[in-house]
Amino acid sequence: MRRSYLLLPFTVFNRRMDSSVTADSVEKATFQPRKPHTARGWGLLALSFSTLGVIYSDIGTSPLYVLNGIWAPSGPAPPAEDVLGGISAIVWSMTLLPLLKYVFICLRFGTGEGEGGSFALFQGLYPPPREDIDGDRVLTGDSAYRSKSVSNAGQLSGRFRWPLLAWCLFATGLTMADGILTPAVSVTSAASGIAVAKPSTINDVTGIALAFLIPFFLAQPFGTGRLGVAFAPITFIWLSLLGVTGIVNITAHPGIFRAFDPSRAVLWFVRTKNYDALSGVLLAVTGCEAVFANLGQFNMLSIQLSFSLFVYPNLILAYLGQGARLIRDGDAVINNVFYATIPGSSNGPLFWIVWIFGILATLTASQAMITATFSLVQQIVNMKSLPPIRIKHTSEKIQGQVFIPIVNWILMIAVIIFVVAFKNSTNLTNAYGFAVATVMFSTTTIIAIQIVYVKHLPVIIAAAFFLPFGFFDGLFWGAALKKIPQGAWAPLMLGTIMMLFMLFWTWAKRLEDKFDGKNRRNLRHFIFAGEKGQVTMPAPGRPQSLTPEVDEFDESASVQERYYYSVRDKIASDERDEDRRELVRIPTCAVFHKFASGKGVPHSFVGFIRQWPALPEVVIFLSVCVLPVPKVAADERYDVDKVRSVKGFYGVTYYIGFREEFEVNVDEIVAKICLLETPTDLTSSEIIAEIRKAVIQTTHIVPHYHVMSKVDLREGGLIRVPFNWMRTFLIESIYRRLIISFPETAKWNGPADEIIRVGITAKI
């Protein structure tokens, strides 16, 4: 018997389930979102160590360029008091934002699945609908469109949904732009160190940077886990080198410890009135959002331990050491503060050790933002704000560790363009800060709202969070805005384009899902089974109501509703034979794939029957449920429900682990069906024989929507006509073509004669 294959649809569900669950307990399992990854003891220490190679390399490589971002390498060395004020600003920015705000506050605002980032915050305010997985197998139930978000006790008004969504998507788009800028800035800055030891190579920095970056992107398919294990020791050594060299450099001017006095930073800005310098200080906290966005790759406790006990102390020592050397040596080190302050000679062994690990550390910094981008894209695809694309899971234990091929190659091409176009690290850092500052301010805003509407804490606590952190984020954002003419326009443009596209896809996809939900049909009011086993459907041209139906087993239905629909069933069964068309049963099996959840039969079945007025002997309606375990045992893959009012109809839920390929094994489904049709008499034996004969030839049926705008371009007057035209253009000229390029099921891996795509005109 042949097996049939389809790529996994991305409209999937999660269920909490232990990998050792028995087959008997599958039906009783509780469907919940997957839980955050947990670890204890040595496992927690190992996970904390892995975070070094994935999360902190971005913020850990900031010492390469921060001081030259504040004081230009081509200018004179600043006076001692200015250096002291600048280092004080860096120290307190590191303390207030990465340590206090992100590590100890923001990480507590991830989703129930353990995901972080701007879009995860929006999901906290407007949670996705809770899907009834068991209800997907009910073909005779309520066909009404009732998709509603899980309600919050605070009930944030729905009128804020789209503005907040736009704001979060803008921040998400900028985080993705950050995934482009981080590799470009950090690797170019590290490569520029070679010009300190060998000035003749100054024109070769771009080529050297690209020589490291391109193989790095080619290594991404190996997965976050393996790369984290490989990069973690590199980052550990790099941060240790920063700490040790910082301690050595501090001895050049121990008075640098006065930088712990925050008044030094305030006096620096008051005295110099150089607000633009704040955009250089901002570079010290780049990577904050990666700490939050990568939450799904690890967990809160592992991130808190590694940052507060190791990363933060070494970075503070590095900045203090650089400041001490800048105060003592001045013009001798201003041209490249980081490499010129490495203890020893400019061509000595320590210099080259630091240079090599600087290159390697900047590659791991790039890894931090790339994995954060992968996590964000996964969230957005699952929330239907981006087209369905192939997502590859790279870990047997952590569902959040993914690799997305198309995103990886787009990032690689974009990084190459940025490195070549901007040419040096100074130009790149101008573009870099804007994305970071905007995302930081967005995170502060949404968390303040979540404190009230999700955590249900008093407004005064939200104000206590927003006022100080919003003030600091606002200062950084204002400084970054002034850099728009000097390069910040690039991330602004990328973020705006991404936001507009994601808003457009969210809007159009919601219209399509609404159409799908409203056009689900109660099987009992579309297919009629006669006493002699014949099956009929309404004759062509007869009006067919889409009024929501109530299943006889629907406990939510009132007594009046049950009575009304039972009477309606009786009337329908007593209609004259000439009002119906008899459907011939053919000895085949048809698998109808359901991509949207809900009771009733999908619109593709209705369209199929109308085009080919015949019924396969076995009709299976298949929905997919992705479990938060890597693999599912063969005897636990399928749940099957039988429709008792019409022979040969079955609702099936297909459970699949997040590391498994999508493979529908009709043999296993038939085995479950035969258990339902246990032979108790001659009739049951005949039914089983008919089923086994029918499934020899199996066809898969998937819907293909031909979307059209439901508005009339001529209606609405002069004011509405332009909006109607734009709506029609977006749906029919753009969205229609995109859903062809990105179907819910990608290409068919099996023989072409095993699949039928039912065309449906969807007016949305």
* pLDDT tens digits along 366-390: 776 777 788 778 778 877 888 888 7
Q: What's the CA gap between 65 and 424, in Å, rounded? A: 12
Q: 647-702, pLDDT tens digit by residue? A: 889 999 998 876 676 778 888 898 888 888 776 555 667 778 888 888 888 888 88
Please tell me which residue, 501 or 593, carries the higher pLDDT value: 501
Most confident of 426-430, 655-659, 704-708: 704-708
Question: Mind listing the pLDDT tens digit for each residue in 190-228?
Answer: 777 666 666 666 677 778 788 878 887 887 777 655 565
Whole-number Å distance between alpha carbons of 657 and 32: 15
For residue 547, pLDDT beyond 60 = no
Is there a contact between 634 and 645 (Cβ–Cβ < 8 Å)?
no
The pLDDT value recorded for residue 202 is: 65
Please write down the HEC assignment for all residues of 486-524: HCCHHHHHHHHHHHHHHHHHHHHHHHHHHHHHHCCECHH
Cβ atoms of 530 and 514 closer than 8 Å = no
List, for residues 167-188, the tens digit of each pLDDT value: 888 988 887 887 787 777 777 7
User: How far apart, in whole angstroms, are the C-alpha atoms of residue 364 and residue 174?
Assistant: 20
The pLDDT of residue 747 is above 70: no
Q: Could you write out the three-class secondary structure of 586-653?
A: EEEEEEEECCCCCCCECHHHHHHHHHCCEEEEEEEEEEEEEECCCCCCHHHCEEEEECCCCCCEEEEE
In the chain, pLDDT over 70 holds for what percent of residues?
Answer: 76
Q: How many angstroms separate the CA atoms of 127 and 750, rounded? A: 37
Give the pLDDT band of residue 556 (cuts 50, 70, 90): very low
**Model-level pTM?**
0.76
- The structure tokens listed for 194 are 């070679």
- Structural tokens at position 762: 């969807």
Maximum CA extent, the chain: 102
Picking from 232-236, 456-460, 500-504, 643-647, which range would have the lowest pLDDT averaged per residue?
643-647
- Measured in degrees and rounded to the nearest 5, phi and psi for residue 617 equal -65, -35
Q: Which residues contact 265 (CB under 8 A, 6 or more apart)?
A: 85, 86, 88, 89, 92
Identify which has the larger pLDDT, 105 or 155: 105
Report which residue type is found at 576: R
Q: In the structure encoding, which two tokens stand for residue 412, read together?
A: 């690689």
> Measured between alpha carbons, how far is residue 389 from residues 9, 380, 607, 701, 738 in Å?
9, 11, 27, 21, 12
| H or E element in which residue 584 lies | strand 580-593
Comparing C-alpha atoms, which of 369, 372, 414 is closest to residue 58? Answer: 369
**How many other CB atoms sit within 10 Å of the CB of residue 485?**
8
Read off φ and ψ for residue 305, nearest 5 degrees: -65, -50
All structural domains of the chain, each given as residue ranges with its CATH number in brackets, are 4-13+519-763 (no CATH), 33-128+137-150+162-509 (1.20.1740.10)
HEC string of 348-402 equals CHHHHHHHHHHHHHHHHHHHHHHHHHHHHHHHHHHCCCCCCCCCEECCCCCCCCE
The whole-number pLDDT of residue 19 equals 32
Over residues 306-364, the pLDDT tens digits come to 999 999 999 999 999 999 999 999 889 998 899 899 998 877 888 889 988 988 887 77
Written as six digits, the tokens of 381 are 């695809």
